[in-house]
Amino acid sequence: MTQDSCEKLYETYYMRVFSYAMTLAEGDRTQAEDITQETFFRAFSKRNDFRGESDEITWLCAIAKNFFLDEKRRQRRTEPIPEEDVPDTEKSMEQKTMDRDTSFRIHVALHALEEPYREAFELRVFGELSFREIGMIFGKTENWARVTYHRAKLKLQERMDKT
């Protein structure tokens, strides 16, 4: 990508990407500027990966959204747990037994869950993958992954209620 084409892309879409970033950042101008800057940096770095299957603005907004979500996930992992939310580590023997029993029942119900529901559920819960990533693994859409995960949760709950 030439410097001229980078400048043209930036000049053409800066305000639209920034407006979208303001929506993501819920009006936080500093965060929106960071999102916009990172969006264009990533776009310029990966310009050759753009296949032209969508409009440039759609591609740029997808980059912005993915960056925003990545940052939110990173922040959640690094935030300390407030003291009032720290669980009591001194559980009674009865509570530990109930927790193990419940965990075992969940795993039995999950094991009996048919595909693709089981794998979609496991990828989301245990693998902590996004719906987009799950959809890519199955060669399906992000929406398909959302629906499949939701149905898996319903099926698991149904099986848990029966036991």
pLDDT for position 34:
94
State mean pLDDT over 80-105. Answer: 66
pLDDT > 60? residue 50: yes
Instruction: State pLDDT tens for residues 9-28.
Output: 889 989 999 998 988 888 88
Rounded to whole angstroms, the Cα distance separating 24 from 74 reads 16
| Cis bond before residue 87 (omega within 30° of 0) | no
State mean pLDDT over 51-64. Answer: 82
DSSP H or E run through 43: helix 29-45
pLDDT > 70? residue 86: no
In sequence order, which residues have a C-beta less than 8 Å from that of residue 43 and are 6 or more positions away? Answer: 9, 50, 59, 60, 63
Q: Residue 132 corresponds to which tokens in the numbers above? A: 């987009």
Instruction: State pLDDT tens for residues 100-127.
Output: 777 777 777 878 888 888 888 888 887 7
Domain 3-78 architecture: Orthogonal Bundle (1.10)
Q: What is the CATH number of domain 104-162?
A: 1.10.10.10
pLDDT for position 2:
66
pLDDT band at 82 (very low <50, low <70, confident <90, very high): low
Residue scoring higher pLDDT (34 or 88): 34
- For residue 142, which of 62, 40, 68, 50 has the smallest C-alpha distance? 62
pLDDT for position 126:
75
Sorted by where each begins, the domain ranges of the chain are 3-78, 104-162
